[in-house]
Structure 1
């Protein structure tokens, strides 16, 4: 029986040929009109209109996510059905690290104010915020691959990072680590707080009004994790009332952000449209994960890279 690999996107012919070599009894397809829903065993990515796979299909066994975050997927259903899930964690590490470094370096030279002034044709050197990056306390919330790579990169710029994770266990490249239970204590004197956490029940609205009040009022908050980890109304209020100095937001609770939302026009808020993870050579990097998993799955039904623990959500 021929099984299908239903993919949310197409890939280069040379990569499709590698899939065929590993799994000759599988047919790769992106067009659902050409798919027998009953015979789809693997998907690359997931779409809401693929619901027939959960309603009619008893053959579906493995979903390979195109992204690192899987919080938008029906994880409970996958778990009940015994469907394996793997993510694309690690692919976006370099891109997100460089995005964050750009934000940090921009901030220590106060480029946001220069951009704001240029738009208004104002030549103004007064009241600039400037500092050395190496003299700042940088708290990175999330000590996975991206957090570790960012911490390593910061070392080369003379900066030491404090890492926040579930238990406070030590992690390479961080000057120190602390438990998430001590987050408020660590951010009280931090100059930068960077969120790289996945979205789970525990991290939903982690960054709320109490959090921003606990932050150093001269600090900047950066979010490249998940938008819903931040309570947008609380962040907006914190920026308006100067409870924090600046925000750099690549992800937001509502995407796209409503055109009339006050965050768009605030001088102390810098927004990018969820681009931190955009990665050159994505297909090659993604296939390094997928092909290794495909070979293992065809052999014995197991995955060897990035399997998601469904009960935890990451």
Structure 2
């Protein structure tokens, strides 16, 4: 997410006091380039990491908009989507992405280099878990139907109220989590607190480095009731009342939810997609919804965004659409800077970074 407020020229600033003589300081400087504007409070937080940091801020969408001289001396890059060739930035050793996903990086020269890449994984488990819970409650308590009646100013008869608005209680229901990273674990914790049964589909955790965790986030009760491997998805789906998608976008997860997956789901089940649009075969989902093979879908992400005006999803009464907002949180800035500052400290100390991308996995 680009937090910069507009176009600006380059501005080189030290992110903290420097007590060394100028020559010594320059010799030891770690030069950080950000392609988005950091607010003053972000710079202050970075300044507390080390006086060796020299931060250059230059908002730019294209590599060519940044002078070659700046690229040539950059050691660390903070960016959302501005990726140089390694020849242009020979000193570059690490890129901190301003995103949690990496699908926009995998086809760039950066991906094929040995430059370390880290993400903002772990920034949004609290808000995304609440979002998923909201959607499960919305369908469980017939909120779309209530909104429809309100728009039509239609107060149903007593018999209709009983038949149409009988809720589906979450206590005792089963949620299947397709993906069990920090977001999936927080959804599982909240679901357990409500008395739900939690199933999780996940890859082996082998080879994954340490990831960022929101301070104070509990993990003791985050263990699922049963774990499935990716090739067991059609074994898990028939048991689920709700299926929540929270996997990264990779070749392996593209159209993971396909015709076979929807045929494996209960007719009463609801799909919640807060992952990436490409995880769902949208044509297969539309057929499943129209044919009553699943009860509904809450969709925050789509294969094409903005969602085209002629998409059938807009008119479906059993679909809730949100404009890719599940990841929004008022605590975004503090968590992002928490990750970046800690990773800068680790980089200077020669320690493994948080949220390292494993290229062989694709995320």
After superposition, the Cα gap between the structure-2 partners of 1:119 and 1:306, relative to the gap in structure 1 and judged at 3 Å, is same
Pairwise CA distance, 1:78: 2.8
- TM-score, length-scaled by structure 2: 0.79
| Residues 1:118 and 2:146 aligned together | no
After superposition, the Cα gap between the structure-2 partners of 1:149 and 1:25, relative to the gap in structure 1 and judged at 3 Å, is closer
Pairwise CA distance, 1:75: 6.0
Pairwise CA distance, 1:89: 1.1
- Look up the match of 2:73: 39
- Look up the match of 2:36: 9
Greater mean alpha carbon deviation, residues 29-38 or residues 240-249 = 29-38
- Look up the match of 1:280: 330
Q: Which runs of 5+ in 2 are unaligned?
A: 1-25, 207-220
- Look up the match of 1:223: 273
| Residues 1:83 and 2:115 aligned together | yes
SS at match of 2:164: coil
Greater mean alpha carbon deviation, residues 252-261 or residues 178-187 = 178-187
After superposition, the Cα gap between the structure-2 partners of 1:111 and 1:8, relative to the gap in structure 1 and judged at 3 Å, is farther
Pairwise CA distance, 1:290: 0.7
Q: Which runs of 5+ in 1 are unaligned?
A: none
Counterparts of 1:68-79 in structure 2, within 5 Å, are 68-74=100-106, 77-79=109-111
Pairwise CA distance, 1:285: 0.7
Counterparts of 1:267-306 in structure 2, within 5 Å, are 267-300=317-350, 302-306=351-355
- Look up the match of 1:250: 300
Greater mean alpha carbon deviation, residues 248-257 or residues 13-22 = 13-22
After superposition, the Cα gap between the structure-2 partners of 1:185 and 1:31, relative to the gap in structure 1 and judged at 3 Å, is closer
Pairwise CA distance, 1:218: 1.1
Greater mean alpha carbon deviation, residues 9-18 or residues 291-300 = 9-18
Pairwise CA distance, 1:51: 4.7
Q: Distance in 1 between matches of 2:95 and 2:237?
A: 38
| Residues 1:26 and 2:54 aligned together | yes
Among 174, 178, 186, the alignment partner of 1:137 is: 174
SS at match of 1:210: helix
SS at match of 1:121: coil
SS at match of 1:26: strand
| Higher alpha-carbon Rg | 2
SS at match of 1:5: strand
Q: Distance in 2 between matches of 1:158 and 1:86?
A: 36
After superposition, the Cα gap between the structure-2 partners of 1:78 and 1:168, relative to the gap in structure 1 and judged at 3 Å, is closer
Counterpart contact for 1:53–1:60, Cα < 8 Å: no
Q: Distance in 1 between matches of 2:59 and 2:243?
A: 43
Count of residue pairs brought into register by the alignment: 310
After superposition, the Cα gap between the structure-2 partners of 1:232 and 1:8, relative to the gap in structure 1 and judged at 3 Å, is farther
SS at match of 1:37: helix
- TM-score, length-scaled by structure 1: 0.91
Pairwise CA distance, 1:258: 0.1
| Residues 1:104 and 2:136 aligned together | yes
Counterpart contact for 1:168–1:179, Cα < 8 Å: no
SS at match of 1:134: coil
